[in-house]
Chain A
C-alpha cells in the first residue's frame, strides 16, 4: 500500500479529518463536533486512522501542534490549496466556517495573493446563521431552502449576533413572515462577505468553501449579489482538511 497523508481541520464548531493517497485522492474522511474539549475530540478522530504524516489547520492547530507534535498551516492556505484541487483555475475563494469567514485571492500558481478575514466576533459566520435559524424555528439543514422559498427579504440592520437576535424576535412579534426574515438574514451575511471578496478580487469565479457553502440560499445570493459564478465542491466543509492533507504530502 502507498503512503497516506492526513489533514485535520480543528474548527470552532466541528473537526474534520481527511486522508489522501499519493495521487491526492480522498481515501477517508471523518467529521465530529468540537465540543468543549477539542483535543479529546481530535484524539478520538485520529484514533485507529492510518497515515504517514498529518498536518493541522483551523483555530485549534497550535494546540494540536503542541499535543501531537505535528506541522501546522493556517486555514487560509489550507482552503486555498484544497479549493484548487476541485477547481484548478480558481482565483478567488470564500470560506465561511463556524466562527470566521475569509475571502482569499490567489496568484496563477495557486499561492495566496491577499486575504481578508472577519474581525473578532461571530457576525457573518456559520454560528450567526445557526443562532438565527434557531430563533426562527428552522433547523440549520433546511434554513437556506426555506429562505429561498421567500420572494422578498426583510432588511436586517444588525450584524451583531446578539442585536440581530433581538431584532429578529421583534420582527416575529410584529407578525412578519419568517421566511422573509430568514432571507433577509442571509442577505445581510452575503453583503458582508461580498465586501470582503471585493477587497481582494474584483472578477472571476468564486469557489465557496466551509460548512456554510452547503446552504443553497447563501450560494444563490452570493452569485446574484456579485454577478459572478459561484462554484462549490461536493463536501465544502472538508476543503480545509483536504488542503492540509495535500500540504502534508508536499513536504519532502
Chain B
C-alpha cells in the first residue's frame, strides 16, 4: 500500500499498526484461499483488485464523495434499504464484521458468549481498523436478534451517529405496518442527513440501480446450476460479499462481465472442478469478509458450493423491488413489499426459509446442505434442528455445523465436512 493511504488512514483515526497487521493477515489469507484456486474465471481479476484495494482505493472514493458533499451510511444488515439511501443522495456500505479483532477489549463490553459477528463489529470499532465505519456519517443498526439489538445500546456510546431501526418479528398486518412506518421514519432521517428530499424521480432511479445490481447477482447465481460448476463457491461468495462495498453501477457491470464469461464456459462444458463433483448448498448465518473458513474447507475437500442461502447470498439479494410506481408513496410500498419477504430467522414462525432452501437445492442441483450456524446465534441455531429434520425426511443429506471465526476447530470441521462429502459420493 502507498503512503497516500497511510495519510488517509491516519486522518480517519485508524490504528496504523493494528491496521497493518490486519491487512497483512488478510492479504496472506486471500493469497492462500483465493489466488491458489485453479481454473478461475478471468473476470475474477476485478474482484481481486477490489479486495486488494478494499481499504485503499474504495475508501478514497468514498472520501472523495464526502468532499463533494455526499453522505456515507454504514449498515450491518440487509434490512436497511439501499434504495432509500441512494434516493436521498447518500451511499450505503456494509460494515466490517467477519474476523475476530481486539477480542479482550470487546469482552469488556459484551459477554463472551456473544456471536462472532457481533463481537467482530465491536472489535473493528475498538481496534480502530475499519475505515468504512470511520468514514460513515451515519451508522444504521437494526433490531433483529436480541444480541444485535442490545449490542447497539453499547455501540451507541462508541460511534457518533447511530440510528436504530426497529423491525417486526412476526409476519402479520401489524408487522408489515411496523416495517412501513420504520422505513418512512428512515426516509425522513436520510432526508435530514443529506438535506435532499426523496423524490419520485430519485427513488425510481435508486430502485433501478439496486435492482440492476441484484439482477446481476441473480444471473450469476443461476449460472451456478451448471455441472461442471463454472465458478467456485469461494469466488461466488466473494462477489456476494463485494456487493456490500462496491459502487453499485460498477459492481453490476463487473458481475455481468463475469456472467458473459461463465456462459461461454458452460457452453464449452468447462468448469472449476470436474463434472460430477459433489455439490453443496450452504444455508444459515451470513459470511462477511474475511470469513472464508467454511467454503475454503469444503472446496479443498472435494466438493463445490453451488449456492448460499444467506444474507450474504440469496436471502439478501432475492427479489427485485417493483419500480413501476409513479409516486413516492407507491414506490415506498413496493420497497416494503420487497423487504418484507426476507426470511430472516428473527421471524417467528419462518416457514418460507425452509421452502427456499428446498427450492435452492432443486434449482442448483445440490447433493446436500451444510447448515452453517455461528455459535451463540440463537435464531439460526434454533432453526437448524427442524430444518435438518425436514430436509432429511426429503432425503436431502444435511450437516449441521456450529462454529465461529477462530481457526481452532478447523481440523474437526475438516473431518466432519470430508465425511459428509464421502456420504454424497
Contacts and interface: CB of A to CB of B under 8 A. Distances in A.
Contact of B392 (A73, A111, A112, A114): A114
A120 B416 CA distance: 12
Most buried by B among A74, A75, A111, A117: A74
The B contact surface, by secondary structure, is helix
A77 interface: yes
A76 interface: yes
Contact of B411 (A59, A76, A77, A115): A59
Contacts of B422: 73-74, 76-77, 112
B10 interface: no
B214 to A, nearest CB: 36
A119 B402 CA distance: 9
A59 B423 contact: no
Contacts of A113: 423
Interface in A67-122: 73-77, 100, 111-115, 117, 119-120
B148 interface: no
Contacts of A73: 422
A117 B416 contact: yes
Contact of B414 (A62, A111, A112, A115): A62
B409 A120 contact: yes
Contacts of A59: 411, 415
A76 B418 CA distance: 9
Contacts of A120: 408-409, 412
Contact of B423 (A75, A112, A117): A112
Nearest to B418: A74
B419 interface: yes
Given A111-B423, A114-B392, A119 B415 contact: no
The A contact surface, by secondary structure, is mixed
A119 B423 contact: no
B419 A115 contact: yes
Contacts of B397: 114
Contacts of B415: 59, 74-76, 100, 117
Interface in B368-412: 392, 397, 402, 408-409, 411-412
A74 B414 CA distance: 9
A62 B409 CA distance: 15
Which interface class (under 10, 10 to 19, 20 to 34, 35 or more) fits A? 10 to 19
Interface residues of B, number: 14
Interface string A41-82: 000000000000000000100100000000001111100000
Contacts of A74: 415, 418-419, 422
A114 B396 CA distance: 11
Interface string A222-241: 00000000000000000000
Contacts of A100: 412, 415
B392 A76 contact: no
B412 A76 contact: no
Given A62-B414, A114-B392, A119 B409 contact: yes
A94 to B, nearest CB: 15
Contacts of A119: 402, 409, 412
Nearest to B375: A119
A112 B415 CA distance: 14
A178 to B, nearest CB: 32
Interface of B: 392, 397, 402, 408-409, 411-412, 414-416, 418-419, 422-423
Interface of A: 59, 62, 73-77, 100, 111-115, 117, 119-120
Given A62-B414, A112-B422, A114-B397, 11 more contacts: A59-B415, A74-B415, A74-B418, A76-B419, A77-B419, A111-B423, A112-B423, A113-B423, A114-B392, A119-B402, A120-B408
22 contacts: A59-B411, A62-B414, A74-B418, A74-B419, A76-B415, A76-B422, A77-B419, A100-B412, A111-B423, A112-B419, A112-B422, A112-B423, A114-B392, A115-B416, A115-B419, A117-B412, A117-B415, A117-B416, A119-B402, A120-B408, A120-B409, A120-B412
